[in-house]
Amino acid sequence: MSARVISAKVSRDIDTSLDYNLGMGFSLRNLCITLLLGCASCASPGAELNVAPLFARHTAPNYQHAEALGGIMQYHREGDAERWSLQPAFYKQNHDNGAVETVVAGGLGYYDYEPKTEHTYSHFFPLYSYNSEIRPDGIRDTDWSALMWLFGGGSSSDDEENYFWVFPFYGTGKDFLTYDEFKFIMFPFYLESKQKNRRAYHYLWPFFGYTEGSETGWHAWPFYGEANVKDRYSRFYAMWPFYTQSTDDLDKKYPRKAWMFFPFFGHSQQDDYNAYTIVPPIFGWANRPSTGYSSWQLWPLLKFENGGKREKHELQRILPFWAHFKNEQTEYSVFMWPFFWSRKDDYGRTKRESKQLVPLFLWANTEHPDGTVTTDVRIWPFAGYTKRSTPEGSGLEHKIRILDLGMPGLFDSETMSKSFGAFYQLWLDRKALVDDKPIHEERTFLNLYHSVESAGHSRWSIPVLGGQWTEPSGITHSSWLFGLIRWRSGDDGGFEAPAFPGPGWPDLSQ
């Protein structure tokens, strides 16, 4: 008997057995045919797929998003900008202007490249930091440090700023902290520094030293020290901090003179300005009748200050209950410090207003020099909302996040989302402009729902269940149950070939 005849006989016997045992018109042949057709009709490699949280790939004009393992692994592209991430280990962002940004371990590691100035900066705290850029004069300047500045160095392409140190044994440096240059040998035994035309030499820092150049002086701390700059100031101390004395603004008609016996009493005077302190800094008061300035304080709880000539301002403070400050640019009030804040800033072309209940709530509205307005709302950590709009109120871009760990000024929402969003972000609703054209994206936790709108195309999908794609012409493509049931609308509508595991729509990102 031939193999073909044997195979046919076995197949008929199994079909008959299954029909009998299951009590229904079930055919193994029909099941196999269905599976084979499904396999034969699998979605092409470049098609839309959604079997989240295992894997998903979504496309639209100028848009592509792929992710695996619930968003732990992600690839995202909009226009010429693209991002890769393996959360929480790292993410890398290539911007459309050629800039590159990489964040490692939520910010412990960082890399940034700006092509315009060929500026490169990177760090991995506390192991190292590196900075290199081309200055406006065309010279490349490079600086680096390692192990919390125990090792450091730098160089410039003109060899004018080459330096190196191994702390505390020996080193030279430039543009570090407030110093233009410094040199040390077996720190703290010897330290030399330069600030403009001032040079300072220290032996057993900070105990003994002297200065020369634009400033002259010497000190044997804490017993005695003096410093003098011609036409600027003359200062000295004895048994620091118990007695200090200074004369500043020597080039003016009325220099400012001050002295203090710490911790008992102090006095400062300049023209008709007088200030006194008792048990500094606890009790203090000051006034200048010619400008209407007055101030008094019981530090740190009470302070009242107003008037002034160069910068008129007001300050009232009754901590922790209330504080208020106002000058020409800024006004803020605090209630039950540090929790309730209300603030306004006016810097000419940029204006900002905010209300805040630290750390639970924030509302901020910023008017930018280009006329656009950015609104930020945070109900921390439950939700975040950011919107950029035209002066007329028309929305340009927005982001809505359910569970948002970011807080402006403390934690950047974008960095937190790109580094850890797969683990906490329940909902993202985002609208962005790419080449001046809007792209609207929505995503839930684990990508169990995803939608995107771009260039008239609209797509949404839910794993297993299916989804729908609407073209600019209004034709809709529906895909259900792993892409096994698919059809389209329109004059030539009808069923489409299955595309397991669905939805199987073509790639629109190119």
Round the average pLDDT of the chain to a whole number and report it: 89
35 pLDDT exceeds 60?
Answer: no
Q: Both ends of the chain: CA-CA distance in Å?
A: 56
**Token pair listed for 52:** 């989240």
Q: How many domains does the chain have?
A: 2
Where is the domain boundary, 434, 461, 481? 434
State the CB neighbour count (10 A cutoff) for residue 441: 21
- The H or E element spanning position 15 is helix 3-22
Q: Please indicate, yes or no, if residue 348 is contained in any of the structural domains.
A: yes
Whether residue 14 has pLDDT greater than 90: no
Q: Read off the pLDDT of residues 466-475 as tens digits, 9 standing for 90 and up.
A: 999 999 999 9
Reported as a pLDDT band with limits 50, 70 and 90, residue 476 is: very high
**Mean pLDDT within 407-430:** 90
Task: Provide the token pair at 412.
Answer: 């950047």
DSSP bridge partners of 63: 60, 78
Q: What is the per-residue pLDDT for 45?
A: 62
Q: Has residue 401 been placed in a domain?
A: yes
d(C-alpha 323, C-alpha 9), whole Å = 93
Where does a domain end: 413, 434, 455? 434
For residue 504, the 8-state DSSP code is: -
Please tell me the predicted confidence (pLDDT) of residue 20. 34
Mean pLDDT of 235-262: 97
162 three-state secondary structure: coil
- pLDDT at residue 43 tops 50: yes
Report if residue 70 sits inside a domain.
no
pLDDT tens-place string over residues 146-199: 999 999 999 999 988 899 999 999 999 888 778 899 999 999 999 999 999 999
* Cβ partners under 8 Å of residue 487, min gap 6: 477, 478, 493, 494, 495, 496
The model's pLDDT over 111-155, given as tens digits with 9 standing for 90+, comes to 999 998 899 999 999 999 999 999 888 999 999 999 999 999 999
pLDDT score at 46: 67
pLDDT per position as a tens digit, 255-311: 999 999 999 999 999 999 999 999 999 999 999 999 999 999 999 999 999 988 777
Per-residue pLDDT at 90: 94
Task: Determine, yes or no, domain membership for 424.
Answer: yes
> Do residues 285 and 276 make contact, with C-beta atoms less than 8 angstroms apart?
yes
Which residues share a beta bridge with 55? 51, 68
Can you give the pTM of this predicted structure? 0.78
Q: At what angle do helices 28-40 and 3-22 cross, to 10 degrees?
A: 110
Cβ-contact 293, 287 below 8 angstroms: yes
Least confident of 33-37, 191-195, 399-403: 33-37
- 87 lies in a domain? no
Burial state string for 384-413 with b = 16 or more CB within 10 A and e = fewer than 16: bbbbbeeeeeeebbbbbbbbbbbbbeebbb
Residues 58-68 have pLDDT tens digits of 999 999 999 99
Q: What is the per-residue pLDDT across 336-380, written as a single tens digit (0 to 9) for each? A: 999 999 999 999 999 999 999 999 999 999 999 999 999 999 999
Residue 236 forms part of a structural domain: no
For the record, the structure tokens of 106 come out as 């939520």
State percent of the chain over pLDDT 90: 79
Query: Where does a domain end: 381, 399, 434?
Result: 434
What SS3 class is residue 113? strand
The residue segments making up the domain with residue 4 are 1-40
Q: How far apart are CA 318 and CA 9, in angstroms?
A: 97
Residue 42: per-residue pLDDT = 64
5-9, 407-411, 449-453: which is most confident? 449-453
The count of residues in the chain is 510
